Homo-oligomer: A and B are copies of this chain.
Amino acid sequence: MSVFEVDSAFEAGSVAVADWPLCHVRLQNDGRFPWLILIPRAAGAVEFEDLSADDRARLMEEVVAAGRVDRALGVLMGRPVDKLNTAALGNVTAQLHVHVVGRRRDDPLWPDPVWGRPGAAPHQLETLNRLIETVKRSPV
């Protein structure tokens, strides 16, 4: 792959919301958690080692920004975040991507990870639109 394209597998569960300096940013449509997915715009990247060190440092800063956004989304959802969970797995969809998920001690999966577990329920449309607008307006 020589041109960056978002793997179509992301479309099933998430919506495109922003493009930050390095990453394409998606909101996972799961009403249980504020949850962003960062996809570095680097064609063919699968592991962190496929990025330059400069891009890796940039990715880390965008992960921190995504955590701040998750905290804001959690407040909007009436469920302020207790702990951030960050992961780059790629076992199902190999394209390099980082999940940044806001967790609460009383959320339905705590303290387990959220990946590979059933129970996702989409946001109500009005909520989804408010969250998308908040991500779009958030500074990186």
Contact = CB atoms under 8 A, between A and B. Distances in A.
Interface of A: 46-49, 53, 56-57, 59-61, 63-64, 67-68, 83-92, 94, 103, 110-113, 115-116
A26 to B, nearest CB: 18
- Identify the 3 closest CB pairs spanning chains A and B, nearest first: A91-B111, A87-B87, A112-B116
Contacts of A83: 46-47, 89-91, 94
21 contacts: A47-B67, A47-B83, A47-B84, A48-B67, A48-B84, A49-B64, A49-B67, A57-B60, A83-B94, A84-B88, A85-B87, A85-B88, A85-B90, A85-B91, A86-B87, A87-B87, A87-B89, A87-B113, A89-B111, A91-B110, A113-B115
Contacts of A60: 48, 56-57, 59-60
Number of copies: 2
A59 B60 CA distance: 9
A88 B86 contact: yes
A68 B111 CA distance: 29
Given A56-B60, A91-B111, 20 more contacts: A46-B83, A47-B83, A48-B67, A48-B84, A49-B64, A49-B67, A49-B68, A56-B64, A57-B57, A57-B60, A83-B91, A83-B94, A85-B89, A85-B90, A87-B89, A91-B110, A91-B112, A111-B116, A112-B115, A113-B115
